Every structure is written in structure tokens, then in C-alpha cells.
């Protein structure tokens, strides 16, 4: 997902400084779960970081491109806010 997002930035001629900032933003991210006596950490390599000032904007850039994707015939994509429905009909 991130590779596609970065490719879209290049295709839209995003300024190099903003592109580098985006790459930096998605680099070396971790998720941490802490309880009373347990702490675990995992590297994150997908999705938009949540709870950040840029997260909602990056989410919108990715999410808004979904309805423009080419799907097979008899497939409909509906998006509203942060909800997505992909409906397809088959035999």
C-alpha cells in the first residue's frame, strides 16, 4: 500500500522535499502494546499512522483513489467518509 501511495506522489509531481518528508514519515514505525507487566513492540509496514497530524491526510489520499480503480464489469464502488463498499455480481 505504501509503495502505491509513494508512486502516486511521484505521478502527481509532488515536490521532492514533500516526497522525502513522506518517506521519512513512513520509516521505522512501531506499534507498542503495554499492560501491567507486559510490553510488546512490533514494526509497522502498512497503513497510515493513527493519531498523528498527517495520518488523516494520508488516509484521504489513499482512500479517495479507490473509487477510480478499474474493477471488472458488474462491480460498483461506493465510498462515504471512511466507509467503503465494493459490490460485485456474479453468476
The DSSP result for the chain, as a single string, is -HHHHHHHHHHTT--HHHHHHHHHHTSSEEEEEE-SS-EEEEEE-SSPPSSSSSHHHHHHHHHHHGGGS---TTEEEEEETTEEEEEE---
pLDDT tens column, 9-24: 788 787 888 788 778 7
pLDDT tens column, 66-91: 777 778 888 888 877 777 888 888 87
Between residues 14 and 42, which one has the greater pLDDT? 42
Q: Kindly report whether the global pTM for this prediction surpasses the value 0.85.
A: no
Between residues 6 and 46, which one has the greater pLDDT? 6
Report the percent of the chain where pLDDT is more than 70.
Answer: 77
Amino acid at each position: 500500500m505504501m509503495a502505491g501511495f509513494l508512486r502516486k506522489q511521484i505521478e502527481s509531481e509532488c515536490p521532492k522535499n514533500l516526497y522525502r518528508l513522506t518517506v521519512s514519515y513512513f520509516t521505522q514505525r512501531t506499534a507498542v502494546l503495554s499492560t501491567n507487566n507486559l510490553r510488546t513492540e512490533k514494526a509497522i509496514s502498512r497503513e497510515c499512522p493513527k493519531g498523528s497530524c498527517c495520518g488523516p491526510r494520508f488516509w484521504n489520499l489513499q482512500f479517495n483513489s479507490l473509487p477510480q480503480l478499474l474493477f471488472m464489469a458488474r462491480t460498483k464502488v461506493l465510498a462515504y467518509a471512511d466507509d467503503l463498499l465494493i459490490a460485485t455480481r456474479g453468476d
